[in-house]
Structure 1
């Protein structure tokens, strides 16, 4: 009886923390509308680092070239590709004078390190405003670049955008990937709104060139294969220098992984950088995940044993209602409304997958960015 009482009070604490988190997310980001702060049109350099992306470049690069923006260049970085990536880049560069090409020759010291290739691309760029995306990303409109750059100001030197994944019909994996993407964006946008920016995604983000070099670039984590986006932002972002851009015209859309194996490998690389975040970010993110996991374990256990089950059912209902409200409003912002009804089930699968990824990363580390 004592154990059951302890478990029940532990469950109350877990639900309280979860409700606190989702309430914070709700009022800091979910109910906020996107804003355009000014009409500045700074000259910009769009940097695309590609490794074996010939087909994606042929398909997607014209959409970058056709952006309605008065003054921008495109810096294409070929990171030691073994396919026709370099050939495709040269063909585009010959036709468009505002395309600059950087061909990275792999070295023993930096083999398989995207940060080295990106650094060379940044050094080759002409403009102070750097906008990053990937070869497999499609801008959601020809206003993408304009919508991102307009958020820069004298004080705002970082702009965090939203990188969505394309929808695939009748695919549970696709729904899981998009759910995880929305949840991640909900967190990093919310934390930034609350004055604690901690990450961005390289598919859609921007910062000033001077910020990069004043921080010695990726020097503090150059030996890590991942983290060119989140670790750099975690290091340099402050409450005053970070702007958010989540208008639908500013989204980028990427092709998602199509097999669980490929997705797990991708997430292993992403999750491996989290332990290098600042301590306060690690604590808050870990607490959110731990209480998520505990909510499902304790809630299921208490319902099965029927211990204080009416109160347990009420607590579960309260937590699901505020989660649905918070996730639902965010999903509408990101045009992912088809996920709302499945949110609890997708959350359960995502938590399980993240636990298995964490265990796998303890056993062995992912080695290459691609």
Structure 2
């Protein structure tokens, strides 16, 4: 049966083809950069003095289990761990005092009052950065631990001539259960975007769990002064402000990752994502466009596939869909291998379908006000 060229089914199919074309452009020309990324070989390597900044509030349990991994790093060059204790009321102070006697490289900065009008962790982070002794800063959180003893060494090795920012990967611990896999996949999918965009010279964010930049960049831009009124933004809005086409590098070596404890309930995870998404409304128009176009086209894949199958020749939309699926499978597999998330790949089709529901569930968070306290 011949279908009129401008039938409803043809319009649906044409829209579907357009969406798939957009998706393929992202996967082939943006995300493919990360999938096939190979670090540039250096003729020589230099180790810089490093200040590791860790912020925590009522994190006694995490300090006891995670902080020692940052204190026993295989890094012979001068470095320090600056722990900013943000008004903790638990045993944090005493644990830090004990670790300080054991590890001379640990310095504690005790905050005893909140900064009025500066929500989130930007004030304690700012105080830690200003107290740092060294120019190269490496940021993480108290609920994170390095994946290896070479974390500092590998992250600082990302610096080269003209580089002022190094983006790392902050993974979540692998545990049983559906929620854990969804959290880890969402973390991977976010990293796929911000690391790939950095490689195509459009850096727009890092993750505060594993991020490095020069102290000079912080001071030169007056720290977080322009975003102090926003609960989040210390690892995306600030990076957008200081990053450019040439001053940002990435480090994705598995030994350079940090690992965090994932949220244990759906409610906690959604609360966390609400805080993260609340800053995206402040992105410059360029990044809203490119990130929004990817997300919107991804969201439309399955609705348009369904109506195209129903109202058009079913084999045509399925053929186009499988072309995208093959490209997606290859890019995700190679990138998951690089980011040590390869166990997720066997469920890549389910994750791709899940993203339709994820966008539907999470998109309202863009318009909601985030909580002003970070802990």
TM range (shorter): over 0.9
Query: Partner of 1:133: helix, strand, or coil?
Result: strand
Do structure 1's residue 324 and structure 2's residue 329 form an aligned pair? Answer: yes
Question: C-alpha offsets along residues 67-124 of structure 1, whole Å, 9 cap, x if unaligned?
Answer: 0112100000011222222222222223322211111223361464310110011111
CA–CA distance in 1 between the matches of 2:270 and 2:312? 37
Q: Deviations over 1:157-215 (max 9, x none)?
A: 1111111111112x111111111111111111111111111110011110000010101
Q: Which of residues 142, 147, 151 is equivalent to 1:140?
A: 147
Distance 2:170 2:219 in 1: 25
Equivalent position of 1:117 in the other structure: 124
The aligned counterpart of 1:359 is 364
Q: Given that residues 165 and 247 in structure 2 are in contact (C-alpha distance below 8 angstroms), is that contact kept between their aligned partners in structure 1? A: yes
Which of 180, 183, 186 in structure 2 is aligned with 1:177?
183
Alpha-carbon separation, structure 2, partners of 1:364 and 1:48: 26
- Preserved CA contact (<8 Å) 1:231 1:273: yes
Q: Answer yes or no: is the 8 Å Cα contact 2:31–2:192 preserved in 1.
A: no
- Verify: 1:66 aligned to 2:72, yes or no: yes
User: Is 1:217 the equivalent of 2:223?
Assistant: yes
Query: Offset at 1:360?
Result: 4.2
- Cα distance change, pair 238–223 in 1 and its aligned pair in 2 (3 A): same
Find the residue that maps to 1:97 and give its secondary structure. Answer: coil
Greater mean alpha carbon deviation, residues 223-232 or residues 348-357: 348-357
Once the two structures are superposed, the pairs formed by residues 6-45 of structure 1 within 5 Å of their partners are: 6-35=11-40, 37=42, 38-45=44-51
The answer for the alignment partner of 1:368 in structure 2 is 373
**How far 1:239 moved relative to its partner?**
1.6
Task: Report how many aligned residue pairs link the two structures.
Answer: 368
Give deviations 1:294-331, integer Å, cap 9, x for gaps: 1111112222x252211100011011111111111000
Quick one: distance in 2 between partners of 1:117 and 1:108? 9
1:289-304 superposed matches below 5 A: 289-303=295-309
Unpaired stretches in structure 2, ≥5 consecutive residues? 1-5
Distance 2:293 2:74 in 1: 43
Secondary structure at 1:29 match in 2: helix
CA RMSD of aligned residues (A): 1.6
TM-score (norm 1): 0.95
Q: Contact (CA 8 Å) 1:110, 1:116: kept in 2 or not?
A: no
Structure 1 gaps of 5+ residues are none
Q: Is the 8 A contact 1:61 1:135 kept in 2?
A: yes
Post-superposition shift, 1:361?
4.5
Contact 1:8–1:308 (Cα < 8 Å) also in 2: no
Give distance in 1, aligned partners of 2:41 and 2:312. 51
Match of 2:194 among 163, 188, 193: 188
